[in-house]
A and B are shown apart, each in its own frame.
Chain A
């Protein structure tokens, strides 16, 4: 079974600084998707960024970027120029391809605090 591990239960970052959240996963599949979701205190889960395993180029969305290391099964999220609104729980998630007919498997999450 696939598993997703987030080894940092809590992280903090100064406003305007950069922080990296770690995620590792275990799978025997070669094709899959990886996601980072953000859950602010209001609890609405929001997709931050996604990465297709077959793409070597790391995904980027504005201040958010990933470092995808397929061989190491590592998928870290980098937040640049951190803002107070970035404070939230961040979940790393995995889904197998090709059918997509499998549920998302989530890590336990990392709580990010942003210090003004």
Chain B
């Protein structure tokens, strides 16, 4: 099976712009989670989607949003970018969010805000 894929891998944006990141889960996986990774804060949970519904949300401002499509692919959007949004954004998938099984991570999207 193909692993979790994320596009684009690298992105440079300017403050105030918006950005959309994409994640395709492993085939058959219906749950997608997003994490932000920074040197200072480490890995922080953004949100999780299952069957096109947001199941859980981390402590991030409303500028961070996401959605999931019927084929389980997910997008994450950040509006009005700030310098502090520069980070590695990781997507992870698993088959069933009602079981505490491990998640499989994608390679990440490196976002740089200038």
Q: CB within 8 Å of B: which residues of A?
A: 32-33, 35, 37, 42-47, 50, 91, 95-109
CA separation between A96 and B46, bound complex, in Å? 17
Chain A CB within 8 A of B42 CB: yes
Closest to A97 in B: B100
Which chain B positions have C-beta within 8 A of A101?
55-56, 97-98
Main secondary structure of the interface of A (DSSP, over half): loop
Judging by beta carbons under 8 Å apart, are A103 and B105 in contact?
no
Please count how many residues in chain B sit with their CB below 8 Å of the partner chain's CB atoms.
26
Q: List 14 A-B contacts (CB under 8 A).
A: A32-B100, A33-B100, A37-B105, A43-B88, A43-B108, A44-B105, A44-B106, A45-B90, A47-B103, A98-B100, A101-B97, A103-B56, A103-B58, A108-B42
Which chain B positions have C-beta within 8 A of A108?
42
CA separation between A103 and B88, bound complex, in Å? 18
Judging by beta carbons under 8 Å apart, are B105 and A100 in contact?
no
Quick one: which of A47, A98, A106 contacts B104, CB cutoff 8 A? A47
Which chain B positions have C-beta within 8 A of A95?
100
Residue picked from B3, B90, B103, most chain A C-beta under 10 Å: B103
Quick one: which of A43, A100, A104 contacts B45, CB cutoff 8 A? A104
Judging by beta carbons under 8 Å apart, are B106 and A100 in contact?
no
Which chain A positions have C-beta within 8 A of B101?
100
CA separation between A103 and B45, bound complex, in Å? 7
